[in-house]
Amino acid sequence: MFTIITGAQFGDEGKGKVVDLMSGDYDLVVRFQGGNNAGHTVKVGEDVYKLHLIPSGFLLDSRVLIGPGTVVNPEVLVREIDMLAEGGIELGPEKLGIDAKASIIMPYHIELDGLRESKRTEKIGTTKRGIGFAYIDKVARDEIRMYDLVNRERFLKRLEELAPSKEAAIKQFGGDPSMVMDEALIDKYVELGKRLAPYMTDVSYEINKALEDGKNVLAEGAQGTHLDVIHGTQKFVTSSSTIAGSACANLGVGPTKVDDVLGIVKAYITRVGEGPLPTELTDDVGKQIQEVGGEFGTTTGRSRRCGWFDLPLLKKATYLNGYTSVALTKLDVLSNLDPIRVCVSYELEGHILGYPPEDTAELANCKPVYEDLPGWDNDLTGVKEFADLPQAAKDYVLYLEARMGVPIEYISVGPAREQTFKK
């Protein structure tokens, strides 16, 4: 069985939590895009794990893989491996694999990301982790790959070849180009390469062989649908393709192998960084959702902008991903709000739109048209099954399910594993 999980909104939908929960049924859990711009939180008992690169399936028995379409900061990866080891969780090469073709995020990518963002008059609000510049180099065929990093001679040769253009780019943005060939940084990367060498693998081969042998594979998306570099709200997007089809292309698995596509959908909407968010709440209701939901970024600590559920954006997400089912997360956060509003369409220059306009500038001008549903004041965090939800919460779930046109398979009412039930 091959299952793909993606975020249906702007990221932070609770993918990490759901992947952890489901990973018990999967032999392989694989990241297919993005890098340490992601922040995935997994809570088990009193332990909270906040990881940026290691797939969220690491706690149970699955083998976890980082695919060739990702951009890997080796320092962050080694730090995560060491942090887990300190907590008694050993991620040796039999447990974790990194594709030999994965692109390496170099210090100059991080430098360029920061410099470029500081020079923009209209900012994107990137995580400044060098993601965009690492992907630019991948497409330009100027990247350093895992298999370069683990071989000192090859790494140094490649770096020397690339250095002049990197130095020129940094200089152009007013930065200090000497960091490109900084000896201490190079030595550090050589050491990181040695450390990571035993983890190298061929992810596409591993997945296809596993599927051939009747095993189960789970592809874990990072970011969210509307941050997709092609279909998202350009320019306010990340630099990789975040939608379900991207899992096939990035992992080298044929689309005929896909069994399920699960969308992770928050019971409201959040966004970190700039870009349109038609239902954004800048009032006390938005503040309440932010505080109750703990809506502060795992990666950068920035507050997440919060808004009501946006059906036109969700409809687009179901088209882009072809969801076979949905996990609805953070339903508990909406307690003590009345009414609960759902955006059913937009008003744009006197026209009513049921689907987001393709032009980001037009989306930014869309005014939400709401339907109001009654709220509830019960605490949902201890609810164990659908039947035990208050009627208004049940009605909200059933309303969303009918309007999305995709079955809701899981409902989550808190960060812990046990705060999840099948609908």
Closest CA to 134 of 161, 168, 166, 167: 166
Distance, in Å, from the CA atom of 72 to the CA atom of 84, rounded to the nearest integer, reads 18
Distance, in Å, from the CA atom of 292 to the CA atom of 333, rounded to the nearest integer, reads 6
Residue nearer to ligand GDP on the CB measure, 333 or 406? 333
Out of 4, 26, 39, 146, which residue is the one contacting ligand IMO (CB under 6 A)?
Answer: 39
Min dist CB 420 to ligand IMO, Å, is 18
Task: Tell me the per-residue interface mask from 149 to 178 with ligand IMO, x by CB under 6 A, - otherwise.
Answer: ------------------------------
Query: In sequence order, what are the residues at sequence separation of 6 or more whose Cβ sits closer than 8 angstroms to the Cβ of residue 76?
Result: 36, 52, 53
SS3 153: helix
Tell whether omega for the bond before 339 is within 30 degrees of 0, i.e. cis: yes
Restricting to residues 282-321, name those near ligand IMO by CB under 6 A. 298
Task: Tell me the per-residue interface mask from 246 to 285 with Mg ion, x by CB under 5 A, - otherwise.
Answer: ----------------------------------------
Task: Tell me the per-residue interface mask from 27 to 66 with Mg ion, x by CB under 5 A, - otherwise.
Answer: ------------x---------------------------
304 within 8 A of 272, measured Cβ to Cβ = yes
> What radius of gyration do the chain's Cα atoms show?
22
Is 231 catalytic? The answer is no
Distance, in Å, from the CA atom of 166 to the CA atom of 406, rounded to the nearest integer, reads 47
Out of 223, 225, 318, 345, which residue is the one contacting ligand IMO (CB under 6 A)?
Answer: 223
Closest CA to 70 of 322, 288, 240, 263: 240
Residue 364 binds ligand IMO (CB under 6 A): no
Q: Is 237 left (phi over 0), alpha (psi -120 to 50) or beta?
A: beta
Is 40 catalytic? The answer is yes
Restricting to residues 262-281, name those near ligand IMO by CB under 6 A. 272-273
Restricting to residues 88-127, name those near ligand IMO by CB under 6 A. 124-127
314 within 8 A of 326, measured Cβ to Cβ = no
In the complex, which residues of this chain contact ligand GDP (CB under 6 A)? 7, 11-17, 39-41, 43, 293-294, 298, 329-330, 332-333, 412-415
- Residue 83: how many other CB atoms lie within 10 Å: 14
Residue nearer to Mg ion on the CB measure, 36 or 298? 298
Q: Which does 228 bind (CB under 5 to 8 A by kind): ligand GDP, Mg ion, ligand IMO, none?
A: none
Restricting to residues 349-378, name those near Mg ion by CB under 5 A. none
Distance, in Å, from the CA atom of 411 to the CA atom of 423, rounded to the nearest integer, reads 6
Min dist CB 296 to ligand GDP, Å, is 9
Residues at the interface with Mg ion (CB under 5 A)? 12, 39, 298
Could you give the residue numbers annotated as active site?
A: 12, 40
